[in-house]
Structure 1
Amino acid sequence: MGAPDRRYPTGSVPARPVGTAPLMRVRSASDPAPGRLENEDVVFRFGPLVGVLDGATVPDGYDTGCVHGPAWYVRHLAARIGLAIAARPAATLMSSLAAAILAVRADHGDVCDLDHPGTPSSTVCLLREGGDQADYLVLCDSPLVLDTGSEVTVVADERLAAATADLRRTADTLPGDGADAATRFHRSVTVQRARMNRTHGYWAAAADPDAAYHAVTGTVPLRGPGALRRAALLTDGASCAVEEFGLFDWSGLLDVATAEGPEGLIGRVRAAERDHPDRLRRHKRTDDASVSLCEFDAAE
């Protein structure tokens, strides 16, 4: 009998036969915005599924029609996604997300007005390893970065950014003194809420399961030419390292997350927020930040 494999604790040697999908290793980190006790992001892994969710922060003074908050919503949605995929492993990510949204709708009970335009909502970014390929889903502004060895690509849902740019143009038509700035912000929030989960607006997970069928989806091979080597699932509090601060390109983001870990990438963002607060285009100076880095061994 041969000597035990010292690379793994007793009983933990991967029972993955030769010829199956590449082994997926996942490292994750999630950090609330400085000064905030509650994190409205969630990172999770359920078997072959990895996900990040970013709950929409409710501006002070705005009603939601709901006794629960964004943190409650993302925790329940993450759990319900996992249960939906466990119940129907062969289902598409779209249909699993739709089932999860419907289940969270029931979780609210009868105490919330789920037709309120400010009902709790979340972005969704999912990656599922499945044999010869990985499936992905992106809904709203939590991008997915894919490295296939020969190229790095970004899967993004640009509809929120387009709607936000349009809202800024609308708000900028108002006078610019202090009182009117508050008026512009109120108008922007009102219009943005009205455009959520509308054909000419943007889509997010909230109370309507139909939103799942408007997500950006696709597959990437895990074998052969163009096989996936690395993937990063990001909330916008982490993707701003590229999109807002320009610290590096998407390939550089993957390299930093690989070398320094997801927490190292978030640390780079926190330093940039401290050093260059004027560079942020968002209405928040800082944000919750989450990263899941998936790395794949080459298939044998």
Structure 2
Amino acid sequence: MRVRSASAPAPGRDVNEDLVFRFGPLVGVLDGATVPEGFDTGCVHGPEWYVRHLAARIGLAEAARPAATLMSNLAAAILAVRADHADECDLDHPGTPSSTVCLLREGGDQVDYLVLCDSPLVLDAGGRITVVSDDRLDAAMADLRRTVATIPAGAGDRASRFREAVGVQRKRMNRTHGYWVAAADPDAAYHAVTGTVALRGRDALRRAALLSDGASSAVEQFGVVDWAGLLDLLTVEGPAALIDRVRAAERDLPDRLRRHKRSDDASVVLCEFNPDDSGA
């Protein structure tokens, strides 16, 4: 497995709340949830601390139990980070630090993958491009926007409406009919999207891209490329080139079409394989 990666903070920010990592046959992308200014989290740590500790704990879990499922090792890692907080933090607070998770692990004749929240995985296998995504956050946010839209315009200014929206979103984190993300509850790992792809034969995996939503926005928000074009761009020009395309698109986007953030941290990992073309 050949691995290339790139990760960059949003322009104008010194802190990158994304993290890419590799521990032997395991690669991953984590995207820490940015805390809106003025919101409490019940924690003395921030998203950057959380993703670094979670990545380290995932690596230790994999080293200790290389045959365990990705779900099981992610659950163990979340539980270990919970202990890392010690007694300094209120881990039942709805704003406790959290992160998306996208993992790929090579093993013999197959790879295993795990996707939790909105960091998608793009697979090129058997001549087909497949996107593995967890759309529960998108569904929860769409429902949230509908709820906020029903609030009378005179009920408060924009800031107060935003605060109410964030409060509603937090209540739906790691809840049935809400969305799941790595935070303080190890049970979230068992709600991840998982699967296996062959590394041999006609349907062998050739390429895989792990993306934070800041990088997948090249397709999902800006339409700079499609998923096949994204993989080709990564293969020919490298992961940093994709982030450059995203930054250019962010600069050119009219203010009226911007998301709640003008730009986002962006991370991408490209994995390339040498499939057995014998068809066996």
TM-score (norm 2): 0.96
Q: Which of 205, 209, 224 lines up with 1:247 in the alignment?
A: 224
In structure 1, C-alpha distance between the alignment counterparts of 2:145 and 2:88, rounded to whole Å = 34
Q: Which of 150, 157, 172 lines up with 2:127 in the alignment?
A: 150
Which residues of structure 1 form unaligned runs of 5+?
1-23
Q: Percent identity?
A: 79
Q: State the Cα deviation string for residues 175-226 of structure 1 (Å, max 9, x = none).
A: 3479532222111100100000001100000000000000000000000011
In structure 2, C-alpha distance between the alignment counterparts of 1:171 and 1:198, rounded to whole Å = 20
Which residues of structure 2 form unaligned runs of 5+?
none
| Equivalent residue letter for 2:229 | G
Q: SS in structure 2 opposite 1:104?
A: helix
Q: What is the match of residue 32 of structure 2?
A: 55
| 1:26 correspondence with 2:30 | no
| 1:138 correspondence with 2:115 | yes
Q: State the Cα deviation string for residues 135-163 of structure 1 (Å, max 9, x = none).
A: 00000000000001411000000000000
Q: What is the match of residue 175 of structure 2?
A: 198
Q: CA deviation at 1:299?
A: 3.4
Q: Which of 65, 68, 87 lines up with 2:64 in the alignment?
A: 87
Q: What is the match of residue 88 of structure 2?
A: 111
Considering only CA atoms, is the larger Rg found in Structure 1 or Structure 2? 1
Q: Which moved more, 1:166-175 or 1:64-73?
A: 166-175
| 1:37 correspondence with 2:14 | yes
Q: What is the match of residue 234 of structure 1?
A: 211
Q: What is the match of residue 211 of structure 1?
A: 188
Q: State the Cα deviation string for residues 4-42 of structure 1 (Å, max 9, x = none).
A: xxxxxxxxxxxxxxxxxxxx0000000000000000000
Q: CA RMSD in A?
A: 1.3
| 1:283 correspondence with 2:248 | no
In structure 1, C-alpha distance between the alignment counterparts of 2:3 and 2:136, rounded to whole Å = 29
| 1:124 correspondence with 2:76 | no
Q: Which moved more, 1:172-181 or 1:219-228?
A: 172-181
The number of aligned residues is 277
CA contact (8 A) 1:277 1:285 kept: no
In structure 1, C-alpha distance between the alignment counterparts of 2:257 and 2:213, rounded to whole Å = 12
In structure 1, C-alpha distance between the alignment counterparts of 2:257 and 2:35, rounded to whole Å = 19
In structure 1, C-alpha distance between the alignment counterparts of 2:266 and 2:257, rounded to whole Å = 14
In structure 2, the CA distance between the partners of 1:61 and 1:234, relative to structure 1 (3 Å rule), is same
In structure 2, C-alpha distance between the alignment counterparts of 1:265 and 1:279, rounded to whole Å = 24
TM-score (norm 1): 0.90
- Runs of 4+ more than 6 Å apart: none
